[in-house]
């Protein structure tokens, strides 16, 4: 079975996560998929296969070399993003892409155009797996799962390639930020690992945002508008004042690279009460802490005009994994060499987001992120090249080989 065959079978599973259920996994489809994968791993003859009640699946490919080597892990996530439906995914392969517009859905006039998505120019002559325009594809991260399992199958079929003990894991709920929460690092037992959860070919990431969420609650006072003068406090109007006090250029749509931001992700309000939901992001830890303090400062400033009306709750979500990777930079060097041996030029860049690897790194498992090959994640225009998945599979095999050497 090829990596493409595996991927096409995996996207049939509806594994969209849901942050509102407060369960692990957050949706039943993820456990259905995990059980399917468990059976596949059992048929392959892997060892130490476990699937816990929270949907964390782990397995081992035993070493086939005599010398002692570090235990390396490879990790991908079961769920797809809540941003768009992952149910009834209908993938198709566009063979030998010619650089033109790809018609995803004629009936709804949904097109994948190089004018809107210029990255398509990087895939001339390749075979692209696309959606029918009504769902996401699920390359994030079912491509990663297919690549890991395909690499393990390749190593099994080629015992002449010597490798140490290899651990693999597939976890739920990465897309809602909870993928690493119940990941048992001690049980996994790897010295270091790689998440196969990046984008285009060559991506290698060991820096990510420091991240926090913030909920600003503004209490108002509702009085009949006919007699409201000097009495009413309209919490919606106070909230709009609060919003514009934050720097307008420090938002996702105005930043790139290492630039951080405040991102207003939700507003719920009436005259009596308005709640603003923010996420705060910055690669630099000092600036990250400064951003949190700025929100607290604006709350105090608001309360000087409207006493005791405004409060904020801030929760740290994850931190920049760089500080945990720098002491073991040889694992980045191994990944870079593995890519070059697969004919891929490494593109080391910061993640403008987070991965399970960031949280796992702070739990004691250094875990940078490697490309899985997909583009335009979380929406109807998502696609992945067959050749990209094949390259990712080669990189995994090369990492295992290099570590044994």
Predicted pLDDT of residue 351: 87
Please report how many Cα atoms fall inside a 13 Å half-sphere around the Cα of residue 189, on the Cβ side.
12
The catalytic residue among 14, 79, 132, 141 is 79
Enumerate residue ranges in the chain where pLDDT < 50: none
Predicted pLDDT of residue 353: 81
Predicted pLDDT of residue 372: 96
Helix, strand and coil content of the chain, in percent to the nearest 5, comes to 35, 25, 40
Please confirm, yes or no, whether 79 is among the known catalytic residues: yes
The catalytic residue among 132, 147, 173, 174 is 174
At the second CATH level, the architecture of 210-317 is 2-Layer Sandwich (3.30)
DSSP string, 60-106: EE---SSS----EEEEEES-B-TTS--TT---EEETT--SS-EEEET
d(Cα 214, Cα 236) in Å, to the nearest integer?
18
Please confirm, yes or no, whether 323 is among the known catalytic residues: no
CB-CB contact of 202 with 345 (8 Å): yes
> Could you tell me the residue ranges of all domains in the chain?
3-207+320-404, 210-317
Query: What's the predicted TM-score (pTM) here?
Result: 0.89
d(Cα 107, Cα 350) in Å, to the nearest integer?
39
CB-CB contact of 133 with 110 (8 Å): yes
Coil, strand, or helix at residue 382? Answer: coil
Predicted pLDDT of residue 52: 97
d(Cα 173, Cα 169) in Å, to the nearest integer?
13
Class in CATH terms, 3-207+320-404: alpha beta
- How many other C-beta atoms lie within 10 A of the C-beta of residue 168? 28
- 261-269 and 273-282: which strand pairing? antiparallel
At 349-360, the pLDDT tens digits run 888 887 789 999
β-sheet with 72-77: strand ranges across: 47-51, 57-61, 166-171, 72-77, 192-198, 369-371, 203-205, 347-348
At 108-164, the pLDDT tens digits run 999 999 999 999 999 999 999 999 999 999 999 999 999 999 999 999 999 999 999
d(Cα 160, Cα 68) in Å, to the nearest integer?
17
Run of H or E residues at 195: strand 192-198
Coil, strand, or helix at residue 145? Answer: helix
Measure CA of the first residue to CA of the last residue in the chain; give whole Å.
28
What letter would DSSP give residue 27? S
User: How far is residue 90 from each of residues 131, 255, 374, measured CA to CA in Å?
Assistant: 6, 34, 16
- 262 burial (CB, 10 Å; 0-12 / 13-18 / 19+) is buried
């Amino acid at each position: 079975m090829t990596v493409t065959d595996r991927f096409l079978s995996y996207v049939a599973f509806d594994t969209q996560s849901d942050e509102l259920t407060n369960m692990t996994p957050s949706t039943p489809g993820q456990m259905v998929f995990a059980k399917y994968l468990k059976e596949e791993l059992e048929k392959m003859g892997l060892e130490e296969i476990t699937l816990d009640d929270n949907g964390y699946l782990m397995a081992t490919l035993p070493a086939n070399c005599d010398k002692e080597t570090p235990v390396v892990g490879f990790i991908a996530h079961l769920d797809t993003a809540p941003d768009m439906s992952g149910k009834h995914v209908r993938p198709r392969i566009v063979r030998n892409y010619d650089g033109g517009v790809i018609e995803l859905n004629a009936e709804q006039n949904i097109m994948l155009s190089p004018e809107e998505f210029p990255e398509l120019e990087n895939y001339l002559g390749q075979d692209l797996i696309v959606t029918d325009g009504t769902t996401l594809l699920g390359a994030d991260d079912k491509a990663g799962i297919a690549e890991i399992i395909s690499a393990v199958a390749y190593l099994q079929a080629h015992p002449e390639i010597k490798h140490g003990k290899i651990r693999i894991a597939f976890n739920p709920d990465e897309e809602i930020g909870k993928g690493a929460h119940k990941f048992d690092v001690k049980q996994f037992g790897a010295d270091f690992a790689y998440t196969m959860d990046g984008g285009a070919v060559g991506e290698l990431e060991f820096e990510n945002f420091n991240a926090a969420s913030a909920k600003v609650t503004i209490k108002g006072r509702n009085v009949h508008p006919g007699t409201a003068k000097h009495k009413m406090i309209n919490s919606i109007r106070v909230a709009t004042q609060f919003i514009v006090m934050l720097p307008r250029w420090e938002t996702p749509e105005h930043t790139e690279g290492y630039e951080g931001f405040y991102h207003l992700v939700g507003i719920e309000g009436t005259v009596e009460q308005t709640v603003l939901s923010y996420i705060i992001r910055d690669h630099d830890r000092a600036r990250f802490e400064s951003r949190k303090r700025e929100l607290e400062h604006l709350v105090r400033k608001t309360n000087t005009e409207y006493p005791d009306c405004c409060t904020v709750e801030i929760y740290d979500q994850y931190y920049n994994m760089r500080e945990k990777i720098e002491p073991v930079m040889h694992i980045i060097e191994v990944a870079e060499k593995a890519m070059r041996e697969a004919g891929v030029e490494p593109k080391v860049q910061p993640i403008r987001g987070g991965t399970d690897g960031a949280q796992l790194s702070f739990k004691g498992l250094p875990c940078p992120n490697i490309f899985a090959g997909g583009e335009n994640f979380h929406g109807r225009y998502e696609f992945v090249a067959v050749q990209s998945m094949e390259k990712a599979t080669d990189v995994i095999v090369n990492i295992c080989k290099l570590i044994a050497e």
